[in-house]
Amino acid sequence: MLRNARHTKILEIIEQMEIETQEELCEQLAARNFSVTQATVSRDIKELHLFKVKGINKRFRYASMTEKESGLSDKMRALFQTCVLGIRAVGNMIVIKTLNGNAPNAGVVIDRLEYREVVGCISGDDTVFVVCENSEETRVVCDRLNAILKG
């Protein structure tokens, strides 16, 4: 029960404030009577699938993904549009170039899309490789990803 209450509080905190580090999140939880370690917060961030986006007052801030029935949340769409520099089909693969350090963010968006044509994807630092069954399906997925990129 404590874990669920803590998760709810974390989501509330990151909606209300720009939280850039795990330490800041620990401090905010402590101020709300949740005694946690940085390791616990790290696990919570992973379990909640939090990611970092550009902040207004801070360089980055934690954000959460909330799915809408129509597909990607506005936050996830903005994350993808902000971090992706280019998308290119190569055989049965799609190569996505991102800003340095943002390939994992783009990879999360692709995983959440759950396209049936995608066999899997691997994220490095600034590149995501998406594997499809064949080049025809690759073109379909590439077009869909470019549509998200263009908004």
* Whether pLDDT at 90 is above 90: yes
Distance CA 114, CA 119 (A): 10
| CA–CA–CA angle 26, 20, 49 (5° rounding) | 80
Distance CA 18, CA 28 (A): 11
Stretch(es) of the chain classified as CATH 3.30.1360.40: 74-150
Per-residue pLDDT, 70? 45
Mean pLDDT along residues 70-94: 89
Structural tokens at position 39: 């390791």
Cα 55 to its chain centre, rounded Å, is 15
Stretch(es) of the chain classified as CATH 1.10.10.10: 2-63
Amino acid 143 reads D
Mean pLDDT along residues 42-70: 74
Mean pLDDT along residues 118-130: 96
Q: Give strand pairing partners of 139.
A: none
Selecting from 2.150.10.10, 3.30.479.30, 3.30.1360.40, 3.40.50.1970, what CATH number does the domain 74-150 have? 3.30.1360.40
Report the predicted TM-score, pTM, of the whole model to 2 decimal places.
0.57
Distance CA 39, CA 44 (A): 9
SS3 category, 33: coil
* H-type alpha helices, 1-151: 2-16, 22-31, 38-47, 74-83, 103-113, 135-150
| CA–CA–CA angle 100, 141, 137 (5° rounding) | 130
- Considering only the top CATH level, what class is 2-63? mainly alpha
Mean pLDDT along residues 108-120: 90
